[in-house]
Amino acid sequence: MYSKVNSIALKGIEGIPVSVESDVSSGLPDFSMVGFLSSEVKEARERVRTALRNAGFLLTPKRITINFSPADIRKEGTAYDLAMAISLLISYGIVPPESVRKTVMIGELTLDGRVHGVSGVLPRVLTARENGFAACFVPWENRLEGALAEGIRVVGVKSLEETVDLLCAPDQQEAAECRADQILAEAEAARTVDFSEVHGQESMKRAAEVAAAGMHNLLMIGTPGSGKSMIARRIPTILPRMTLEESLAVSKVYSVAGLLSADSPMVSTRPFRAPHHTISTAALVGGGMVPRPGEISLADRGVLFLDELPEFRKSTLEVLRQPMEDRFVMIARVSGACRFPADTMIVAAMNPCRCGYYPDRTRCQCSEGEVRKYLSGFLHYYLSNCLFLSNLN
């Protein structure tokens, strides 16, 4: 018997509808899967088969073929387990096929039949809504994240057995609710730092305010302990409050990166990211065999702080040129190109010399040539893109 269950694949931070098709027929017992699959998707064969048995569904040995359509899009991750299991149960006549016609299935199965949380639920649910689906079954811990997408019923499930019961009794399905506007208001009230806490440094505060007003990049040069990092961490608090649309856009990036949790289903304040100077190029702007967003995308609509700027590798800093100009990152791979947002305010901090105390000659022993050499490698690159402030005391 043939059956089809809907799911969503991810390409970057955008979703693509995928059909998980199952065919169960007579013949030598076999379980084959096709459709341009990654290794973790291929491993789902054993997870799904064991989860079905431990959940109490004893399936007679048959010739099973599962196809993921369209076949020209690579399927990554473990979010297809639930769709595969339900598709098989429909083919065996346990679940009615009409119960999933306008429904999307997302979730990973454990060997005992529990539904485990996955990353990227928010962009998947938003894609399901855009494509006219009426409901979306997601893991219980991802239910609030999925409920941020208004206009589609999101049902959180804890186990495969519970999913089957809800499909057989649609009147028992309870949609998850998440008040995004309430989360935004509570986050603003729960702020732990504020720009008003900065005392003194009037010229620096003025420069930070001007930079924040136009989302200009900012470079701070000053001695250790002059307040560069303290001010940088408080710049997001003088940026405008995030709108719901901005929050959802940033939350999509964090969802794909797996940084959302059941306790914080959305990004409700301006992001502040401060990567260590040993960060790689791919981690900073995104990349990998399966493209994932980097720190500059995680700081979208917020602040990316580069402390101790001269310690960063020059090749790592060079890749920031295009994102700083275009406000997005394009990661190209053989399988296609992914576009990640990078509308970020870049704030950098550095010392005026290697020891950090120039021009205080009572503590600085650096020669004029050493100071010029220390600064020249970085200022020529940033002066065209940053608001420059020198000699913080």
307 and 202 in one domain?
yes
203 and 167 in one domain?
no
Dihedral through CA 159, CA 163, CA 165, CA 167, nearest 10? 180
181 against 23, higher pLDDT: 23
Place of tokens 């100077």: 277
Residue range 103-138, pLDDT digits in tens: 999 999 999 999 999 999 999 999 999 999 999 999
309 and 356 in one domain?
yes
Residue 1 structure tokens: 């018997």
Residue range 54-96, pLDDT digits in tens: 999 988 889 999 999 999 888 999 999 999 999 999 999 999 9
307: in domain: yes
Query: Which one-letter DSSP state was computed for residue 268?
Result: -
CA-to-CA distance for 232 and 235, rounded, in angstroms?
Answer: 5
Residue range 315-353, pLDDT digits in tens: 888 899 889 889 999 998 877 789 999 999 999 998 888
| pLDDT higher than 70, residue 234 | yes
Distant-in-sequence contacts of 278-283, Cβ < 8 A, 24+ apart: 279/312, 279/316, 280/316, 281/315, 281/316, 281/319
181: in domain: no
In terms of average pLDDT, the best of 8-12, 288-292, 382-386 is 8-12
178: in domain: no
216 and 106 in one domain?
no
Q: How far is residue 148 from each of residues 157, 174, 360, measured CA to CA in Å?
A: 17, 15, 54
Query: 96: domain CATH number?
Result: 3.30.230.10
CA-to-CA distance for 45 and 47, rounded, in angstroms?
Answer: 6
pLDDT at 255: 95
Is residue 35 within 8 Å of residue 120, measured between CB atoms? no
pLDDT at 391: 46
pLDDT at 379: 58
382 and 294 in one domain?
yes
Domain range spanning residue 336? 191-392
Residue 45 structure tokens: 């064969």
Query: 210: domain CATH number?
Result: 3.40.50.300
CA-to-CA distance for 87 and 89, rounded, in angstroms?
Answer: 5
202 and 155 in one domain?
no
Q: How many domains does the chain have?
A: 2
